[in-house]
Structures are given as C-alpha cells and as structure tokens.
Structure 1
C-alpha cells in the first residue's frame, strides 16, 4: 500500500492512497488547483485513480474533486444525502470500496454536516484489522468539527456526539486518524498543527472527547464556535453545482 498526504491551502489536508501492486488508488478531499499533483503522483506510482471521494460538501475551500474525476474518468463519490445539482456516485453507511489489496469502509458520521463521512481503511496485505481512518471534518487532531453550518448547531452537535461515540470511538486505540484540516482552519476550534494522530491519543487528550456526557458535549461544543468561513455561501454554491 502507498499513502500520500498533501497539505494545501486553507489548512486543508488531501489524500492519495491505494494498492501499487494492483494499480488502483483513491483520491480524497481534492482542493481546486491541486488536480495536477494527483495526476503526477498517480503516474509516479503507476496506478489508476478509480474513485475521487469528498468527505462532505466543503464550505471553506473550492473543491477540485469533480474536475479530477471527470479528467480521469473516475467515480466521483459523496454520501447519498449530499445536496448537489450534478450526478455523483452515492455512498451509504457500510459501503465497501475495493482498490486492489486496500479496502475502504464508508462510515456515515453526520454532525459537522448531514453528509459527512469517514473512511476506514484496511491494507489486507498487513492484516484484516483496519489500519487508519480518514476522519474528514468529524474528528480533528485536538478538536472536532463545528456543528453550525446547517444552522441547527444544538441538534447537529448532538448528532456529532453520536457519530463520534458510535462510529469512531468504538475502534481500537492504535487506529491512526488523518483529518481533512489542521491548525489554521475555520472548520473547528483548537485544531492542532499536527497532521495525524491516533484514537488512543485523542481519547486521552482531545478536550471534546473528554466530554462523555452528551449534554455536556453539546454545551462545550456550541459555546465556542469560530466565525463562519469567508465567502462560505459562494463556496458551497460552487461545490454543490448551484453556481
């Protein structure tokens, strides 16, 4: 298995990973302007990008995912609940995507947005246990996703608590996490500049995960919400095909 993380503008983190032996790869959370990097890296690894996946419809940066998928003839994937105005491959909770010896399990984790997903990745050449999870804007290093983008912050904060405790925190401590943003992003408060972590470390030191009571978590999360991203409405409109 090969794995590459790209730190890009707006403190975003994008990913390219897959099976070099079978020549298959997936691109996740591609930022507009970075499409050539994915093409070049795929060529260097001698793989075909078969799936381009968004962990949700982004509100802080323009996505390059759809453009990359069209350029390569790959499937462009979003959760089925995504509110967009163009065709896409709809993902559901529990779906399994195969890329050679690499398998990706879709976890629907609403809270930051309704369509938020995480991607649980297994390298079957190493074993059958999941190795890492791409957590999108659901769980960051040192923080969790903001719940207010849909305008129902208390409801969505509760759903985020449920997603974290039912989908992510049931995984082993040694599971690595790779989020969609790091320090400098407005998609959460208190993000670390470190681009990865483990669930065990986050369980011990992430202040929001220390709140095991649902009501206390909601209160803590909604008490400190950063300003909305600049040009949020314009970005969402572009990423959803409405502009």
Structure 2
C-alpha cells in the first residue's frame, strides 16, 4: 500500500463499519462487499465491482445519481484504472504478478470498459504516483477517453497487455510491504 489507512481509527471514532471486498485478508472486523452488490443512499445508487489486478481484493464503485439519470455518472476506480495508465500488478509480490496482470486485464475489459463512454473515471492517484506508469497529471477522465487514448487499453491481446504492464516498472516503494501489513491488521 502506498499509504497507511485511517479506516480503523475513523470507524472507532464514528461507529461506521469498514466496508471491504469479501476476499480482503484483514484481521479486524469489517462488512464484506460482494461483486454486483448495490447500496442505496437517498437518490444515489452505488454498485460494487470486484476489479482485482492491482490487488486480489480491489474494488471499483459505480455511482448513479438517479435524480439525473438511470445510467452511471462516475466510477471510483481506486488503483485499477487511472488517467493514462492502469494499476501495477507487481506490488503484492509473492510471484503473483502475472496472475494479477491477467486479472487486471479481465477487470478492465470485462467490467470497467463495459461502462458507457460518458462515465467519469475518478482514480485514487494521478501523475507522480508510484502505483502505475504513464499516469496523466489530470486527476480524472472518462471511460470513453481512456478507451481511446490510454496506452494500456490499446493492446490487441491479454498476453500483450500482461507484457506491457509488467515491463519497465520502477522499484517498489520502500514502505509498501510494511503499509500493507499495517492496513491488513497484521501488525
């Protein structure tokens, strides 16, 4: 992880549950989210998409403002899809890089790129972050723009995609492994 999460501290202060994908290997109480699960918040519907690839438990949240339309408005993509790039599948280590890169391809092509072109993409990072390569300095985008111009989405096959996302990666951030252990409640 590129940061230490404050979720447990926030949950303790507010009584709010921590919501994570059901596959998250955490050692603290949390409410498990499932792929396709929907939550209604007033006029807003939030749909959970399990989008593994950066990590096995990555999710994206599709947000629909039903006062405006019945189609999605934006998607919070976390570290799966960025403006100009995609998440790194190598940060987990443990020899899982190729399998995660293949899952990332499926998450992008089988889920996120199935969304309409007008859907806004709101990722967790933009230019300068170590969680992907080629990230734009622009903090957001749209599915249609990324489909057309994101280099990782222009590749003809899953094999080409896997090679592309695994080549020329910068070194793993020094604190990544320690931050991940802290975030999972392992320390």
1:103 counterpart = 2:72 = no
Partner of 2:142: 198
- Give the Cα–Cα distance (whole angstroms) in 1 for the partners of residues 49 and 33 of structure 2: 9
1:75-224 matches, within 5 Å, as 75-151=17-93, 152-224=96-168
Q: Distance in 1 between matches of 2:11 and 2:140?
A: 26
Question: What is the alpha-carbon distance in structure 2 between the residues aligned to residue 130 and residue 178 of structure 1?
Answer: 13
Structure with greater strand share of residues: 1
C-alpha deviation, 1:103, in angstroms:
0.9
After superposing on structure 2, the runs of 4+ consecutive aligned residues of structure 1 that deviate more than 2 Å are none
Count of matched residue pairs: 185
* Structure 1 residue matching 2:92: 3-state secondary structure: coil
CA distance in 2, matches of 1:201, 1:236: 32
Over the aligned positions, Cα root-mean-square deviation in angstroms equals: 1.0
Contact residue 188 and residue 226 of structure 1 kept, 8 A: no
- The CA deviation at 1:225 is 1.7
Pairwise CA distance, 1:149: 2.1
**Aligned mates of 2:4, 2:29 — CA distance in 1:** 18
TM-score using structure 2 length: 0.96
TM-score under structure 1 length normalisation:
0.74
Q: Distance in 1 between matches of 2:22 and 2:163?
A: 29
C-alpha displacement of 1:66? 2.1
Q: Match of 2:171, SS? A: coil
Whose relative contact order is higher, 1 or 2, with alpha carbons under 8 Å and at least 6 apart?
2
Query: Could you report, residue by residue, the CA deviation over 1:202-228 in whole angstroms, capped at 9, with x for unpaired residues?
Result: 111100011131111111111122211
SS at match of 1:111: coil
Q: Which runs of 5+ in 2 are unaligned?
A: none
What SS does the corresponding residue of 1:203 show, helix, strand or coil? helix
* Native 8 Å contact 2:91 2:176 kept in 1: no
Gaps of at least 5 residues in structure 1 are: 1-58
